Structure 1
Amino acid sequence: MKRTSNFKPHNVTREDRADGTILLRSAEPLSPVANTTGEWLHRWADEAPDRTFIAERYGAGWREESYAATLDKVRNLAAALLARGMGPDTPILIMSGNGVDHGLLALAAQYVGIPTVPVAEQYSLIHGAHGRLRHAIELVRPRMAYVVDAAQYAEALALDALEGIEIIASRPGPGATPFDELLKGDNSVDIDAAHAQVGPDSVVKLLMTSGSTSSPKAVMTTHRMMCANQAQLADAMPFLRARPPRIVDWLPWNHVFGGSHNFNMMLANGGTFYIDEGKPVKGVFDRTLENLSLVTGTLCFNVPVGFAMLLSALREDAPLRQRFFEDLDMIFYAGASLPQDIWQGFEQMAMETKGEIPLITSSWGLTETAPAMMLQHEPTENSGVVGVPLNGVTAKLIPDDDMRCEVRVKGPNLMPGYFEAPEKTAEAFDEEGFFITGDAMKFVDLDDLNKGMKFDGRISEDFKLLTGTWVRAAQLRIDMLALLSPLAADLVITGADKNEIGVMIFPNTSELEAEGFALQDDNGAILCPLLLGEIHRRLAAHAATGASSSTRVVRAIVLSEPASMPDGEMTAKGNLNFRKVLTRRADLLNRLYADADPAVTTL
C-alpha cells in the first residue's frame, strides 16, 4: 500500500543510567516558540486577514469569522473585560460548550492575561451534575461566567455559588450582560499596553482534570506551555506548515485535546476551525455528517467510536467519501486504541479513493502537558502506538522486569503546578523535577527505538489476584473491548483480591437492540441467554488461545444502567471512573463472584 510521504521520520536518542532508568529524547532541536497566542493571531490577521479562522453553523450555512475580524473582536472584548476590573486574579468561568463566542472570549482573555476556566457543559445542563460545577466554582472563585443561552442554562445560573458573579450571555436573559455589549470595547483602556504585559509565563487557562482518580484539580496552563506544544507538533508534522490546516471538529474545549491541542493547532498554523455540534452518539451523529457534506478537513480528529460510525457512513456515501479523502493529511485518534479493523477499513478506503494512505496516528499526553508529549509521526501499520518524545521533551522511563516502563516527563509544555494546591503540586514531581504521570509504556521494538512506544495502562489500575498474579488491567480492558465488540460499549476489569478475573460490561445498547438482546431482570442486570451465551463463547475462545491466569477472564455480567455522570462513574470526557463504578455497584460486583447467578456467565 502506498503511504503518505509527507511525514518527519523519528530520530530519538537514549541515555541509560546506572540505576536502570532510561532517558529518551528527540535528537532534533525545538523550533522557535511564540511568546503568546496573541502572536499567532496578529500574524495571521496580517498575512491572511480574509481567511476564515473559526466558524459555526448558522441556518443552512456557516457563521464565519476571519482572522482580521477575530483580532478586532478579541481586542474589543479584552478592553471591555479590563474596564470591568478583570485581571490575572479574576478568572472567567465558561459554562457552555464549543462556539464562536466562546472562542472569541477565550482568546480575548488570553490576550490580556485573564485566566478562563472552561468546564463541561454537562455540569450545568444535568441537574445531578451541579455538584461538579459547584466544586469548580468554589475552587477557582471566578469573577465572571459565560453561557451561550441564559434561558437554557437558567437552572445552573440560579446556583447560590454564582451569586455576585457577572453573567455574560450571547442570548441573554434577566440579569445577564449581553455578549454584544462587551464587543463594543472600551476606549478608556490602553489595550496595547495591557497586551504587552502578557508573557510566556502568564496563566491563561485553569483546566480541570477529569477527576477519575481523585477530586478534580485545576491545571495552571500558560502561554509557554501551549505555544511550545504547537511548535513541537509542527516540527513533527511538516504538513501543518506546508498549507493551512482545516478541521471539522466536535471535541469539547473544556478538555485539553479539543480546547488546546486542536484549537491552537488551527490558530498557530493559520488554519480554519469549523465547529461541529454533532457528536458520535446515535441521533446526533447525523449532524456531523451534514456538516461534513458542507466542508471537510485536511485533518480528522476523533475517538474510536466516532471513527467507527464515520467509516460506516462513508461506505454508504460515495460523494462524501471522495470529498473526505481528497485533501486529507491525517487521521488522529485518541481516548483509546483504534480497533484494528477500523484502522484497516480507513486504509483500504483511502487507497480505493485516493490511491494513498494518510498518516493514521495517535499521541500521548495529559492535561498537565498541554497536552502532547509523545507522537507517532511516521507511518505505522498497527494501532495503539504513541510514538516518541517530541522535540524538547525528555521521557524518564523506569522499567520493571518485563521492560514495562513507568513514564515521567519534562519539557517546556509542562505545567508549573496545580492552582492553589502546593501539596498536590509537590507530590506530582519527583526529586529531579520530572512529572510523575502514573502511566506505563513498552517499547514496540527494543532493538529499534524509533519504532516508538506503546501505551500499557495506568500503574494505579494494576492489581493482584489472591494467587499473587499481577493483572495489567488497562491493556486487558483494551483487549476485552476488542474481543466483545460491538456488544460492549465499555467495561471494567475486576478481580482485585479475588481468585479470578471478571468483567462488568456496559452494553452497546443500539447493537443489542438490533440483535434482540435487550432483556433484563428485576435486579439491574441484563439477563438474556443468547447474549450471555455469545459472551461466554467469545471468552472461551480467548481462553483457548492459551491465555494465562493474568489475562484469562472467567466471569462476566452485563449492566442495564449506564454509567452515571452525576454519581461520578463517568467523567466529562466520557471516561469511566473505575473505582467509582466498583464502589457504587458493589452489590453487582458481589453477584459477579457468586456462583449459580443466572445473570453471570462463567467459564
Structure 2
Amino acid sequence: MSTWSGRRSEPLFAPPSVVKTVEPSGAILLESSIPLPAYERCVGEWLVRWAEERPDTTFLAERDADGGWRKVSYSQALTRVLGLAGWLLSTSASPEHPVLVLSENTVEHALLALSAMHVGVPVATVSTAYSLLSHDHAKLKAMVELLDPSVIHVSDPDAYAGALDAIDDLHDAVILAGRAPEKTSRMVQLLDEADLPEASSAVSSAFHAIGPDTVARLLFTSGSTGTPKAVINTHRMLTSNQAANAAVWTFLEKNPPVIVDWLPWSHTFGANFTSNTVLRNGGSLYIDTGKPAPGLIERTIANFKDVKPTISFNVPRGYDLMAQALETDAELREVFFNMDLVMNAAAALPTTVWENLKRLSRNTIGREIPIVGSWGSTETAPLATHCHFQVENIANIGLPVPGVILKLIPNGDKLEVRVKGPGVTPGYYRHPELTASAFDEEGFYIIGDAVRFADPDDPSKGLFFDGRVSEDFKLASGTWVSVGELRVAGIDALVPLVQDVVVSGHGRDEIGFLLIPNEAACRACAGLSADAPLAEVLASDAVRDKIAEGLHGLKAQGGGSSRYATRARFLLAPPNPDAGEITDKAYLNQRQMIANRADDIEALFGDRPEDFIDLKRAEVPAA
C-alpha cells in the first residue's frame, strides 16, 4: 500500500511488487514487477530540458560571503556549462584524459563536472581527505598516475597547495582554480564567466556523439587495501538509475525536490543519487557546508530552517545529531517533519535513532514521517534496492528497483547477493584484471554482501542487509558472528557514549568491541572539563560503568555468544582515512580497522583489567 505525503495529496510510492524465481541450482532471482521506464541518452539531456522548461528555477545554490544564497538557475547553468565545455575542448580533455576535481562541493565544481560530461569527458572527484588530511598523499598520487588528467580543478589553491605540490611532477594538466591564490605563488588558471567562449558547433557535435556507454564519472572506491579503484560510471548507469528511482518514488516528477545536502561528490550517494535526483526531476540543490559533526551540524540546521527542503538525505551519524537537535528545537521540528520523506543510506540507522525520529514526528505532526533506506554501491550507480513502502524495521533495504535483477546464492547460513542491470558498472578504469574478477559467469556483479528476506513467505515485504560476506567471522566454538547486525546492536546499546563500534573476535572464545567515543557525551558522563585529557575522561569510573551497563543490556537481549560482546576498549586515535579506516561518509571499514589496530586488539583480549571494560563490571555491586 502506498504511503501518502503529509504535504501533498498524492501517494509517495508505487506499490511494492516483486517477481521471485528459484533456479535449479538453488539460487533465487528477484526483480521488480514495475517496468523500467525509458531513460535519457545522457546526463546533459536533463539540463537541456529544464533550461527550456523551467529556465528561471533555481538549480544550484550556495552561501555567499555575506551569508546569503548565491543562486544559479537552469538557464544560467546551461549557458555556463556550454562555455566551460567549449573551453575543455580547447585543452587535452578527452575520454583518455579526464577532469580531476580536488574540491569540496561548490557551484563551480558542479558546473565543471556537468561541462565535462556534456562533451563526453569523464570527471573524477577525489575525496578531500586524500588532499587535506593525508600526510603522504600516496593514494592521491596513485590516482593521478592512473587517470593522467587533462585538467585539475581546485576550489582553493591555497588550501590544496600541499596536495598540488605532492602531485606536481606526475601530470601536465592545467590547474583550474575556483579563486585566485592569496598565499601561494602557484600558477593557476581562472575562468570568469566573461572569459568563457560562446556555445560552439564543436560542443554541439561532442554532445550529440555521446552514447549510453560513454563514461560520465570515475568514482574511486575507499581503497582500504592498496590503491583505490576507479569505478566506471556510464551515462546509461546514471540515467537508468534515476528512471528507476522515479518509477518507485512516484511523487518526484510531479513535485520537483528541494534538497539541502552536504554529501560529498566524491562518493556515489552524493555525486550520483542526491545530485541526479535533483537534476533529473528539475529540482533545486542547496549546497550545505555543514557536516554530521558537533560544531558543523549547526550549519545544516540553519540551512534546513532557511530553505525548508522536501526530502532529507543523510547518513546515520547525521540523523543521530539531527535527532538530538530536534528534541529542543520546535522550529526545526516543523521544518523537518513536514518534508515528504527521510532517506538513510551508506550504513544501517541505529534503532534508537529511528525510534527517536518516529516519536518526535508523532508528537509534531500526529503521524510518522516515512523513513526509508536503500542499498547499492559505487558499482551500481548506486541504486540496486529501494524502499518504496513504509518499513516496519529500519534494517529493511527494500526491493530491487525496476531493471535490476538480484541473484541470491546460498552461502553457509546466508544468502549472498549479486546484481545485474543497466545501472551496473562495466568495470574498473584501466584495470581489466579487476574487472574480470568482479563478475560471475552469468554477468552478475559480485558485490560481496548478504541479505535475508524480511518475510520468507512474502518477498514483497523487502530484504534486510545481512552483512558483508568477508566481514563475518567464526568464534573458536565455530559459531558465526554477523558483524553488520551486531555492530548496529552494539551502537544502540552504547549510545550516547559511542559513535561507532568495531566488532572483533575472529577465532577467539568471545567477542570484543573497539569503541569510537562520542567525546562530548563521554565528558558529560565523566563530569570533567572540556580541556581534560581524553584518556582521563574515558578511564573514569562513570564512563566505564556506563559502557559495562550497555554491554550487560546487550547480553540480556539473548541469542547466544554471537549476539553480544563480553568486553570493550575505547580507541584514543580516531579512524585514519590515510590508512583506509574510514570513508568520506564517516563509515568505518571493519576489516581495515582490525588489521591496523593490532595492539588495541591484543589489549582488548588481554588479561590486564585496566585495558578493557568487562561486562561483568555491571554485575558487581558498587563498593
TM-score by length of 2: 0.92
CA shift, 1:387, in A, is 0.6
Whole-Å separation in 2 of the counterparts to 1:344 and 1:587: 36
What SS is found at the alignment partner of 1:219?
strand
The residue matched to 1:50 in structure 2 has which SS?
Answer: coil
Cα deviation for residue 356 of structure 1 reads 4.2
How many residues matched? Answer: 599
Deviation at 1:493, TM superposition (A): 0.9
* Residues 3 and 347 of structure 1: CA distance in aligned 2, closer, same or farther (over 3 Å): farther
SS at match of 1:361: strand
Structure 2 equivalent of residue 345 of structure 1: 356
Aligned match for 1:528, one of 540, 544, 549 = 540
The residue number in structure 2 matching 1:389 is 400
Question: Does residue 1:575 correspond to 2:587, yes or no?
Answer: yes
| Residue among 524, 540, 556 paired with 1:514 | 524
Other-structure match for 1:503: 513
Partner of 1:585: 597
1:7 corresponding residue in structure 2: 13
**1:148 has 2:159 as partner:** no
* Alignment counterpart, residue 21 of structure 1, candidates 12, 27, 35: 27
What residue in structure 2 maps to residue 83 of structure 1?
A: 90
SS at match of 1:461: coil
Which has the higher mean CA deviation after the structures are superposed, 558-567 or 157-166? 157-166
The equivalent position to 1:112 in structure 2, one of 93, 108, 119, is 119
Sort the Cα spacing of 1:97 and 1:499 in 2 relative to 1 into closer, same or farther, 3 A: same
2:491 corresponds to which residue? 481
Aligned match for 1:261, one of 273, 289, 293 = 273
Report the counterpart of residue 166 of structure 1 in structure 2.
Answer: 174
1:99 corresponds in structure 2 to 106
Matching residue of 1:450: 460
Q: 1:53 aligns to what?
A: 59
Instruction: Tell me the alpha carbon deviations over residues 422-450 of structure 1, each in whole angstroms, 9 at most, x when there is no partner.
Output: 11111100000000110001100011111
Partner amino acid for 1:407?
V
1:180/1:48 Cα in 2 relative to 1: closer, same or farther (>3 Å)? Answer: same
State the partner residue of 1:191: 203
- SS of the equivalent of 2:393 reads coil
Tell me whether 1:211 sits opposite 2:223 in the alignment. yes
Amino acid at match of 2:467: G
Query: Deviation at 1:336?
Result: 2.1
* CA distance in structure 2 between the aligned counterparts of 1:536 and 1:291, rounded to whole angstroms: 39
Whether 1:292 and 2:304 are equivalent positions in the alignment is: yes
**How many angstroms does 1:214 deviate by?**
5.2
Match of 2:340 among 322, 329, 332: 329
Structure 1 CA distance, aligned partners of 2:602 and 2:199?
67
**Which residue number corresponds to residue 31 of structure 1?**
37
Q: 1:231 aligned to 229, 233, 243, which one?
A: 243
The answer to whether the 8 A contact 2:14-2:248 is kept is: yes
CA distance in 2, matches of 1:551, 1:307: 25
Change (3 A) 1:515 1:221: same
- Aligned partners of 1:317, 1:382: CA distance in 2, in Å? 27
Deviations 1:285-329 (A, max 9, x none): 111122122112111011122112222223322233223333x11
Shift of 1:188: 6.6
Could you say if the C-alpha distance between residues 536 and 356 of structure 1 is closer, same or farther in structure 2, counting changes exceeding 3 Å? Answer: closer
Cα separation, partners in 2 of 1:345 and 1:10, compared to 1, 3 Å: same
Aligned to 2:60, what secondary structure does the other structure show? strand
Structure 2 Cα separation of the partners of residues 478 and 312 of structure 1:
18
In 2, Cα distance between the equivalents of 1:182 and 1:105? 16
Distance 1:593 1:344, change over 3 A: closer
8 Å CA contact 1:245, 1:299 repeated in 2: yes
- Report the secondary structure of 2:577's partner residue: coil
Q: Tell whether the 8 Å contact from 2:534 to 2:572 is kept in structure 1 after alignment.
A: no
The answer to whether 1:437 aligns with 2:447 is: yes
CA deviations 1:237-285 (Å, max 9, x no partner) are: 0110121111000000000000100101100000000000111111111
Q: 1:126 aligns with which of 133, 136, 139?
A: 133
Question: Residues 286 and 525 (structure 1 numbering): CA distance in 2 closer, same or farther, change over 3 Å?
Answer: closer
Structure 2 CA distance, aligned partners of 1:493 and 1:281?
23
- Contact kept, 8 Å, 1:129 with 1:565, in 2: the verdict is no
Matched-pair contact (CA < 8 Å) for 1:50–1:67: yes
The answer on 1:372 being equivalent to 2:383 is: yes
Instruction: Say which SS state the counterpart of residue 31 (structure 2) adopts.
Output: strand
AA in 2 matched with 1:172: A
Contact 2:261–2:286 (CA<8 Å) still a contact in 1?
A: yes
Q: 1:549 to 1:312 in 2, by over 3 A?
A: closer
Distance 1:82 1:449 in 2: 50
The structure 2 residue matched to 1:493, chosen from 493, 503, 507, is 503
Q: For 1:574, give the aligned amino acid.
A: A
Q: Deviations over 1:139-193 (max 9, x none)?
A: 2121210011112211211123455321000102341000327951267762211
> Are the equivalent residues in 2 in contact too, given 1:321–1:353 (CA < 8 A)?
yes
Show structure 1 runs of 5+ residues with no match. Answer: none
> Residue type matched to 1:165 in 2?
A
Q: Provide Cα deviations, 1:509-548, integer angstroms capped at 9, x if missing partner.
A: 11101112777798x9942332222222222232233331
Which whole-Å CA distance do the structure 1 matches of 2:599 and 2:365 have between them? 53
Work out the CA distance in 1 between the residues paired with 2:464 and 2:136.
Answer: 35
Equivalent residue number for residue 316 of structure 1? 328
Unaligned runs of 5+ in 2: 6-10, 617-623
| 1:553 to 1:208, Cα distance in 2 relative to 1, 3 A | same
Alignment deviations for residues 343-377 of structure 1 (CA, whole Å, 9 cap, x no partner):
23333333443344332101000000100000111
- Cα distance, 1:212 vs. partner? 3.2
* Structure 1 residue corresponding to 2:559, chosen from 534, 547, 550: 547
Secondary structure in 1 matching 2:595: helix
Q: Is the 8 A contact 1:10 1:378 kept in 2?
A: yes
Alignment deviations for residues 108-144 of structure 1 (CA, whole Å, 9 cap, x no partner) = 0000001111001121112426222112112212121
Q: Which residue in the other structure is 2:143 paired with?
A: 136
8 Å Cα contact 2:525/2:542 also seen in 1: no
SS in 2 for 1:241: coil
Per mean C-alpha deviation after superposition, the further-off stretch among 546-555 and 105-114 is 546-555
Q: Does residue 63 of structure 1 match 2:70? A: yes
| Aligned residue identity for 1:261 | F
Q: Which residue of 2 aligns with 1:363?
A: 374
SS in 1 for 2:216: strand
How well do the aligned residues superpose, as a CA RMSD in angstroms? 2.0
- Decide which moves more: 247-256 or 332-341: 332-341
The answer to whether the Cα contact below 8 Å between 1:30 and 1:391 also exists between their aligned partners in 2 is yes
Once residues 19 and 525 of structure 1 are traced to their aligned partners in structure 2, the CA distance between those partners, rounded to angstroms, is: 55
1:3 offset after TM fit, Å?
5.8
The reply on whether 1:408 has 2:418 as its aligned counterpart is yes
2:34 is paired with a residue of what secondary structure? coil
CA distance in 2, matches of 1:391, 1:182: 44
Structure 1 residues 380 and 249, CA gap change in structure 2 (3 angstroms): same
Q: d(CA) in 1 for partners of 2:283 and 2:205?
A: 28
Q: Is the 8 A contact 2:467 2:485 kept in 1?
A: yes
Deviation at 1:195, TM superposition (A): 0.9
Query: Which piece of structure 1 moves more, 577-586 or 448-457?
Result: 577-586
Amino acid aligned to 2:106: G
Q: How far apart, in 1, do the equivalents of 2:200 and 2:411 lie? A: 62
Bigger drift between 524-533 and 586-595 goes to: 524-533
Question: What amino acid sits opposite 2:492 in the alignment?
Answer: A
Deviation for aligned residue 1:27: 1.1
